[in-house]
Structure 1
Amino acid sequence: MATSLAGLLLRLAALLCLFQCIQAKTITYDWNVTWVNANPDGLADRKVIGINGQWPLPVVEVDKGDRLVVNMYNGLGDKDTSIHWHGMFQNGTNGMDGASMVTQCPVPPGQSFTYNFTINQNGTYWYHCHTNNCYPDGYRQALIVHDKDAYYNDMYDKEYTLTMSDWYHELVEDIKWITLTNPTGAEPVPQAFLMNDTTSTSLPVDAGKTYLLHLINVGAFVAQYIYIEDHSFKVVEIDGVYTEPTEASILYIAVAQRYTILVETKNSTDKNYPIVMVADSELLDTIPSDLQLNSTSWLEYNKDADYPQAVMKVDQSSSLSPIDDTSLVPYDHMELLPDPDITIDVTVIMQDLADGAGYAFFNNISYTKPKVPSLYSVLSSGNYSTNDEIYGEYTHPTVLQKNQVVEIILNNGDTGSHPFHLHGHNFQVIDRAPAYGEHFYDYLNGDPVAYDPSNHEAFPQYPIRRDTIILPPQGYVVLRFVADNPGVWIFHCHIDWHLSQGLAMILVEAPEQIQEQEKVSSQAYDSCRAGGMAYEGNAAANTEDWLDLTGQNKQVDWLPSGFTTKGIVAMVFSCVSAFLGMAFISVYGATGIQAKKKETAVVNEGSASSDR
């Protein structure tokens, strides 16, 4: 009887699996990535990165369980590229993560790369270029994964997706900011802020209905406050993690973060209501007089009614009090992970190097890409794969064993906030200080406050999970996750300017399992060959002696003892001034001599005439 029951259960399980396979489908896109022209803020025409001749880019919508296949051709002509599927775990498909020189070589112009993976997640995500800071040039858009089993499916009538972003009028390649002339490392200030790639948009709504809004900050730098005048809402998901429905009226969304909310509309249709987006001005070193920090879109109840501009609640965006994401409770009530097996303790530092420019560091390492993608070093290294030395000093690698509980302690020695993103995982946020709202910038009046493992608040029983978290100015955050997804995953600040300064490190998770399960296509190696890049060896592309890192890419040298960037800048400009002064003296001196010669020649000529 027991055997018959077991057999029945196995057949039922097989039928369920077959049913799920039948329900799942393959979504295929053929994308030619090219330059197009756009003017989303109405202030400046510029080149942007489009797909199949179009910009804004297509919103990708799939169902949980679907296979996504994107055949990408690089038609840019002058730029390498890739696609990172932000928030996708890529379990078993690490090579599809799209992070250049981490999981693949960048795709050169004229080459193709096929991204092919199954999506067993749900919620709000996005995709963007992950090569040489190219996504501020427009290469980013929403990725929505629908879930027929989402607990809130019967709570809403219609859904919308809203992206928010900062916008630059110059191409990234033309923004020269890691230079001697910018020793403070001040980030480039955008010229505008967009919602759904325009300066204003309207969401048509009916009275007495409920709407599901997917909110995504696809910007490169600036966090945004967002609220809807005279409306509150319920948060039901962040970064792909369902939450207990939680009432809120204001959100603070850093770059790369996502929220899904439920908004109930009013019973009256006599007016339209502003959807207000306010840039966090505390992140900007300077605020140009023509930069508008707030923008207005609308819940459109009545297309014949006025579209009022927002009434700002405060003068300074930092005084807005959004909901604290660490107060949210995951819907599945996953409990606090046990004490860690391994702890990674790093401090964010912004500092100048010997070239006089500003760089970013975890402790004393500014991430510098290796000569071989780190995943390919894993695959070609055999027994050396578990030795973190082979991945190079300047990728700041940590090798993790499968299923270890990992704790990351992030201390901030900088006066700016940083949104940190972990590829391949979400993590529990178990502690952070200071909190959101009016206390967010409290530590700026004193020295940085580091996390003290022997003196901290009690950890929550059900910590919130997400894949992108804000590290407060001069504060700290503590994260935990389980290393249950073999792969090479980069952990980095998602302010794209800070990533280019080196604020990143890699986690090499279960390398022996990576070797067993990961398969790299010949097409991927073709990209390496076409770009003249190595795809075997350690970080220095050495396949003979795996512990010899001679020739690895290195960060810029440290400033000589006793030198400061201010001193170097002063010396350089003094030298420039001296050279210019000598040049002017030479030019004007020579001009004076020539004039004197000419005057003497005229006098002599006159005397000669008189003699005649």
Structure 2
Amino acid sequence: MKIFTAIPLCFVFKLITSSFHNVVEPNCDRTKTVCEYNWTVNYIQTMVYNPPSGTGTRYPIVPVNGTLHARTDCGSNNFYRTVDDLQDSIITGDGETRMAFAINSQIPGPSLVVYEGQQIVIHVKNDLWMEGISFHWHGLPQKGTPYMDGVPRVSQCPINPGETFTYRFTARPRGTFWYHSHLGTQRSDGLAGAFIILEHSSLKTKKRSRQPYASEFVFLLSDWFPFGSATADKWAAWDINRFSDNLKGEKCFEVKRTYDYAEIGQRGIQTPVINAKGRRYEKDGSTYYPYIPLEVFVVKQGGRYRFRIISIAAMNAYRVSIDNHELRVVAVDGTEVEEEQAESVILHSAERIDVEIQANAPVGNYWIRMEDMAAKDTNEVDSDSPDSSTSCDFQDCTSVCTCTHILNLKLGNVIQFVLINYEPTGFGRAHPVHMHGHRFHVMKIGFPEYDTKTGNLTRMNPDIKCNTLECNRAEWADELWSYGNVPGMNVDNPPIKDTIIVPWGGYVVIRIVADNPGYWYFHCHIELHNVDGMALVLQEGNRTQMPTLPNNFRTCGDFVLNDNGNDVLFGDGLLTDSTDSTDTDDKSNRADQNRTYIIALTVFLCISMVTNIILSSSCLQKGIGRLIHLLSNLLQIQRRIDL
């Protein structure tokens, strides 16, 4: 059974205000060379009234006779006011309360809409209590600024709580992109938003073939979890997400599969959302909260509109369609393409597809539908995934390795990658693979063999010969294909993308020119797979060929205390078999100074006593006694100092 959400497309004449503005409008004037923004990352609660100032009383949002109200007190019906008056201060999500992360108290994050060639300056303050953060600008090559790519522990240190980090880079090229945190699973908990780079008139390279649109819309689609995405990912990694009712139920979720029999997972989709608005659905298609507002796109009859659809999903692929409207695909992953008519489009995690529609239907509301790709259910369960580790240098990688894999690329070379997705155990799935630092040419996609009646995969693509069970020592089955001599390559007009779907049982051939020195992350964009280590690092050029880091750019890494074999206890413990030379030197210096003071004092007192003796011989006997007593006291003080 397919689970879908539907969003209304309304033919009306007034734009209704909401907490997230889905209309594409530049937020930096075309004449400016620098666009500057201030972001504060903070916690936020869904289904709670959040004061626009960020301070003040918050109120839970509750349904009353089918509409939402803010409750101001316990045990009474004294409601503050209806939600229609509070839209700018509420994030509904799927209708459940849960903690999330926000940028300037917004989910999705504020859209960046700028012009190509402008300098972007974003001051990010981490106002969280205990989580580090970072931001990656998905699809931007960051040529010349690899240290602004936003991958923690690859291009920068995480921004720790209380710290501020300034990103600065050039907005290039034009197209539909997005940004998201690249630390853990934070992008699925609110830290993501649209990044639209518009064509600048001074940078036009060819005559514009399309007339201006009546309006353009930001369309962020995602899956939404009733709890933090870190919990969802760990449940999947630990193979316990199949248990229902938050692990307490007697029944288990059944494995969902796509039309080619590739797996989706035990849970599939529960809450697909558009611009962080949706309704939680159950297996029978019912929803818990029919009163939760959905995203609305307002158009006028007869107008032509562009929807910039961006998948920020953690796990799932979606089919998107609009009732009674054909879609015309005009761009993919930020690059314009030859126009194609379509009834629907399918997006995997991190992909973007720009479509335009002609609003020629009768005035009314039309559903925008998001469907998962589920075709049938089975009772199989997932297998364990390897954990991450560090260096690959001293590991035997004939089987599965758990290490940080770095590929060295020589500057100026044309690099061809063959991405293989062979999973012979029957529990595979397509993988959306994203390359940082480049937009690559897709030269060829090799699909597996399918049953023409059922659509199920019947055989892995025979072009690849796997020499291990994991297929990590693969080669072409035909030796004549080696060294780039692969037939069927599109060398005339290969698509340009930054995220490519590698089909289960098949492969993809892509090419880049190694012209962007730096360290670039290359990984699966399914969130669980990325945090489990389905990634590597491309080192493009040597260190001397990479751009110089800005002054005072903070670096990070491991700290291991080396005590040189001495047995040392720190803090209030005792020092054994070791001495602190600095502490000893300080004590010795203080003792020498005290000895000098005692000697000077002794000399002074002796002179004084002698003078008194000379002036008063009658007191001679008494003076000698005092002098002896004083010298005895001074010797005792000296002895204590030496100890």
Distance in 1 (CA, whole Å) between partners of 2:422 and 2:45 is 40
Counterpart position of 1:547: none
Match of 1:124 among 159, 173, 176: 176
Partner of 2:36: 28
Deviation digits for residues 231-277 of structure 1 (CA, Å, limit 9, x no counterpart): 223222111211122222221111100011221110x5333322221
Q: Is the 8 A contact 2:451 2:457 kept in 1?
A: no
The structural deviation recorded for 1:281 is 2.4
Q: Is 2:220–2:310's contact at 8 Å kept on the other side of the alignment? A: yes
Measured at CA, do residues 255 and 24 of structure 1 come closer, stay the same or move farther in structure 2, by a change above 3 Å?
same
Secondary structure at the counterpart of residue 531 of structure 2: helix
The whole-number CA distance in structure 2 between the counterparts of 1:521 and 1:460 is: 43
**Residue type at the aligned position of 1:222:** N
Q: Structure 1: where are the runs of 5+ without partners?
A: 1-20, 288-349, 360-365, 372-391, 543-612
CA RMSD, 1 decimal: 3.4
Secondary structure of 2:457's counterpart equals helix
- Show the counterpart of 2:499: 468
Q: 1:518 aligns with which of 533, 536, 548?
A: 548
Shift of 1:24: 4.6
Distance 1:518 1:205, change over 3 A: same
3-state SS of 1:220 partner: coil
CA distance in 2, matches of 1:368, 1:541: 20
Aligned pair partner of 1:243 in 303, 314, 337: 337
Counterpart contact for 1:283–1:417, Cα < 8 Å: no
Amino acid at match of 1:522: N
Q: CA deviation at 1:483?
A: 0.8
| Equivalent of residue 279 in structure 1, options 367, 372, 375 | 372
Report how far residue 171 of structure 1 moved. Answer: 1.2
Do the aligned partners of residues 280 and 522 (structure 1) sit closer, same or farther apart at CA in structure 2, a change above 3 Å counting?
farther
Matches of 1:70 and 1:260, distance apart in 2: 26
Specify the SS of the correspondent of 1:522: coil
What amino acid does structure 2 have at the position aligned with 1:474?
A: G
| Residues 56 and 220 of structure 1: CA distance in aligned 2, closer, same or farther (over 3 Å) | same
Matches within 5 A, 1:10-159: 23-39=31-47, 40-148=92-200, 149=204, 151-152=208-209, 154-159=211-216
What corresponds to 2:385 in structure 1?
358
Q: 2: distance between equivalents of 1:417 and 1:449?
A: 17
Residue correspondence of structure 1 range 261-280 to structure 2 within 5 A: 261-266=355-360, 268-280=361-373
How far did residue 425 of structure 1 move?
Answer: 0.6
Among candidates 405, 408, 416, match of residue 417 of structure 2: 408
Q: CA 1:22–1:123 in 2, change beyond 3 Å: closer, same or farther?
A: closer
User: Pick from 271, 274, 288: which aligns with 1:192?
Assistant: 271
Q: Distance in 2 between matches of 1:36 and 1:283?
A: 37
Check if 1:172 corresponds to 2:229.
yes
Q: Deviations over 1:539-595 (max 9, x none)?
A: x999xxxxxxxxxxxxxxxxxxxxxxxxxxxxxxxxxxxxxxxxxxxxxxxxxxxxx
**What's the secondary structure of 2:433's corresponding residue?**
strand
Partner of 1:479: 510
Q: How does 1:225-240 map to 2 (within 5 A)?
A: 225-240=319-334
Query: Residues 257 and 441 from structure 1, CA distance in 2 versus in 1: closer, same or farther, beyond 3 angstroms?
Result: farther
Following TM superposition, by how much is the alpha carbon of 1:479 offset from its aligned partner in structure 2, in angstroms? 0.7
| TM-fit CA distance, 1:478 | 0.9
Letter in 2 for 1:274: W
Report if aligned partners of 1:493, 1:504 keep a CA contact under 8 Å in 2.
yes
CA distance in 2, matches of 1:276, 1:233: 13
* Separation in 2, partners of 1:468, 1:283: 27
2:409 aligned partner, one-letter code: L
SS at match of 1:236: strand
Distance in 2 separating the partners of 1:399 and 1:541? 31
TM superposition shift of 1:513: 5.2
Instruction: Structure 2: give runs of 5+ residues left out of the alignment.
Output: 1-28, 48-91, 243-254, 256-262, 279-293, 393-400, 465-475, 563-643
| Aligned residues with identical type, % of pairs | 29
Q: Which moved more, 1:97-106 or 1:145-154?
A: 145-154
Deviations along 1:269-295, one digit per CA (max 9) or x if unpaired, are 3333222211222699889xxxxxxxx
AA paired with 2:155?
T
Deviation at 1:165, TM superposition (A): 0.2
Aligned equivalent of 2:307: 213
Amino acid at match of 2:353: Y
Query: Which amino acid counterpart does residue 193 of structure 1 have in structure 2?
Result: P
Q: Return the offset for 1:52.
A: 2.2
Q: Which residue of 2 aligns with 1:571?
A: none
State the alpha-carbon separation in 2 of the partners of residues 460 and 129 from structure 1: 35
One-letter amino acid of the structure 2 residue matched with residue 400 of structure 1: L
Normalising by structure 2, we get a TM-score of 0.60
Distance 2:219 2:30 in 1: 32
Does the Cα contact within 8 Å between 1:60 and 1:143 map onto a contact in 2? Answer: yes
- Equivalent residues of 1:189, 1:286 under 8 A apart: no
The one-letter code matched in structure 2 to 1:245 is E
CA distance in 2 between counterparts of 1:436 and 1:37 reads 47
Cα deviation, 1:70-94, whole Å, max 9, x if unaligned, reads 1111111111110001011111100
Match of 2:526 among 488, 495, 509: 495
Secondary structure, in 3 states, of the residue corresponding to 2:554? helix
Task: Tell me: CA distance 1:224–1:439, structure 2 relative to 1, closer, same or farther (3 Å).
Answer: farther
Q: CA–CA distance in 2 between the matches of 1:55 and 1:286? A: 36
Query: Following TM superposition, by how much is the alpha carbon of 1:456 offset from its aligned partner in structure 2, in angstroms?
Result: 4.2
| Matches of 1:436 and 1:238, distance apart in 2 | 26
CA distance 1:458–1:98, change in 2 (3 Å): closer
**CA deviation string 1:400-448 (max 9, x = no partner):** 1112111110111232010000001111111113289998995633346
Equivalence map 1:346-385=2 (5 Å): 357-359=384-386, 368=389
Counterpart for residue 259 of structure 1: 353
CA contact (8 A) 1:73 1:112 kept: yes
Contact persistence 2:449–2:459 (CA under 8 A): no
Deviation, 1:534, is 4.3
Distance of aligned partners of 1:92 and 1:393 in 2 relative to their CA distance in 1, 3 Å threshold? farther
Contact 2:434 2:522 (8 Å CA) reproduced: yes
Q: Do the aligned partners of 2:320 and 2:345 also contact (CA within 8 Å) in 1? A: yes
Decide whether the 8 Å contact of 2:114 with 2:198 is kept in 1. Answer: yes
What is the alpha-carbon distance in structure 1 between the residues aligned to residue 440 and residue 549 of structure 2?
26
TM-fit CA distance, 1:96 = 0.4
Q: Distance in 2 between matches of 1:428 and 1:276?
A: 31
Contact 1:254/1:419, CA 8 A, preserved across alignment: yes
Deviation of 1:105 after TM superposition, in Å, equals 1.6
Q: Is 1:412–1:450's contact at 8 Å kept on the other side of the alignment?
A: no
The 8 Å contact of residues 241 and 266 in structure 2, kept in 1 or not, is answered as no
- The Cα shift of 1:351 comes to 9.8
Which protein is bigger by CA-based radius of gyration?
Answer: 2
Q: 1:429 and 2:442 equivalent?
A: yes
Quickly say closer, same or farther: Cα 1:61–1:152, change in 2 above 3 A: farther
Q: Is 1:161 aligned to 2:218, yes or no? A: yes
Once the two structures are TM-superposed, the CA of residue 130 in structure 1 deviates from its matched residue by 0.3
Q: Check the 8 A contact 1:434/1:441 in 2, yes or no.
A: no
Q: Check the 8 A contact 2:327/2:355 in 1, yes or no.
A: yes
